[in-house]
Amino acid sequence: MNLQFFMPTKIIMGDDCVIKNAEILKKLGKKPLIVTGSRSAVLNGSLKDVTKALTENGQEYAVYDKVMSNPTIDCVYEGAELAKSENADFIIAIGGGSPMDAAKAIALLASQDIKREKLFSGEYEEKVLPMVFIPTTAGTGSEVTQYSILTNDAAKTKTTVAAPFLFPDVSFLDSKYMESLSKTTTINTAVDALSHSVEGYLSNRSNVLTDALALEGISIIAEEFENLKNFTLTREDRSKLLYASTLGGIVIAHTGTTAVHSMGYSLTYFKDIDHGRANGLLITEFLKLVEKEKPERIKTLLTAMKLKDLAELEKIIMELLGEKEKLTEEEIMEFASIAIKAKNIANCIVIPTEEDLIHIYKTVFDL
C-alpha cells in the first residue's frame, strides 16, 4: 500500500474553543492582524470572542475587515501592507472561505516581497506569518488547506496560490458562529463541502486515508440533506456540517479538486454565482461522465449517501439549489475554453475533454 498524508494544522473543535484556548494565541506572537469580512464576524460573535481572548492575554491587535467574497489581488496586497505597517507578527482569519483564503495570501505577502506577476508562480521563499483560522461557514475547508484562491482578472478565472507551508497553524471550529448563516449560504457552503469530498474521492491523487475521510464527510452531509432543505438544522446538525466540511478540506489538501471546481470558477467569475452553488449545479452531470468509465467508484459514493442512483442525487441537489441561471451558447464556449486550462482538470480519474465540458454546461443549463 502506498500512502502519504500531511496535515500540519492543529484542529480544536468545541463550544467556546477560542476563549477556552486563548493561551494558544499568546504563543503565536505579540500582535495579530485579524483578517475578516465586513459584517458577519461582528454579527456572529466570532470577532468578539477573539478580541476578548487577545485582551485577556494583554495582546494588542489590528483589524483588516475589507475582504469581499471571491477576494481580489488588490485586497491581499492591501491587507499585507496593513500587516506590515502595524508590525503584526501573526494572522487571525475569521470568516468564510473568502477571508480565510485572503488571510493566507496576506500572511505570505507580509513576510516576503512577491511581485504581482509572480503571485501564482509558486516561487516563494518558505516564509510566512503564523496563522490561526476560525471558519464561520461550513463549506470551503480552507481552515485545513494550503490553498488561497483569488480572483485572477488576467486569466478571467479564479487561481490558486498554493504552498505546503500555507497550512494554518491552528484552526478553531465552533459551530455557534454558523447559527446566523442564511438558508442560502448554509446550503451553498454544504454543497461545496460535499463537492470537495466527492471530487477528492474521484481524484487520481486519492489514497486509502483520503477515501475514508471523503466517504465519512459525504455520508454526514447526505444525512443532513433533509434538514438543509427544510432549514431545520439544530446546533448539533451545524456541528456535523462543520466537521464534514473540515474533512472535505483535509481531503482536497491531498487530492486537489477536479473539473467541477474549474468549471464552477467560470460561473462565479462571469455570472457571480456563489462558489458552492456553482459546484452543485455542475456536479451530477460530471458524475454521470465519470460513471461511464468508473461505475464502481460512483456506486460507492451513492452507497455512502444511501441513494440508489445519480438521478436521485440530482433531484435532491436541484431541490436544494432552486431555479437555475441562464447561459448562452457563446458563454458556454468561453467558459469551457477557460476551464479546460485549469490545473485541476488533470486530477480526475476520468480526465474530461473540452467537448465533455461543453456537454456538461449545455446539459446543466438546458441548451
Binding site for Fe ion (CB under 5 A): 192
Residue 38 binds what, of ligand NAP, Fe ion, none (CB under 5 to 8 Å, by partner type)?
ligand NAP
Our CB check for ligand NAP shows the closer of 143 and 291 to be 143
Q: Which of 8, 25, 18 is nearest to 89 (CA)?
A: 25
Where do we find the cell 458562529?
Answer: 177
Our CB check for ligand NAP shows the closer of 66 and 359 to be 66
Rule CB under 6 A: say whether 363 interacts with ligand NAP: no
Q: How far is the CB of 296 from ligand NAP (least distance, A)?
A: 27
The residue within the footprint of ligand NAP, chosen from 33, 73, 119, 149 (CB under 6 A), is: 149
Rule CB under 6 A: say whether 276 interacts with ligand NAP: yes
| Residue nearest Fe ion, Cβ-based | 192
Residue 152 binds what, of Fe ion, ligand NAP, none (CB under 5 to 8 Å, by partner type)?
none
Rule CB under 6 A: say whether 145 interacts with ligand NAP: yes
Rule CB under 6 A: say whether 352 interacts with ligand NAP: no
Site residues (CB under 6 A) for ligand NAP, limited to 166-205: 177-178, 180-181, 185, 189, 192
User: Under the rule (CB under 6 A), what is the footprint of ligand NAP?
Assistant: 37-41, 44, 69-70, 95-98, 101, 136-137, 139-142, 145, 147, 149, 158, 177-178, 180-181, 185, 189, 192, 252, 275-276
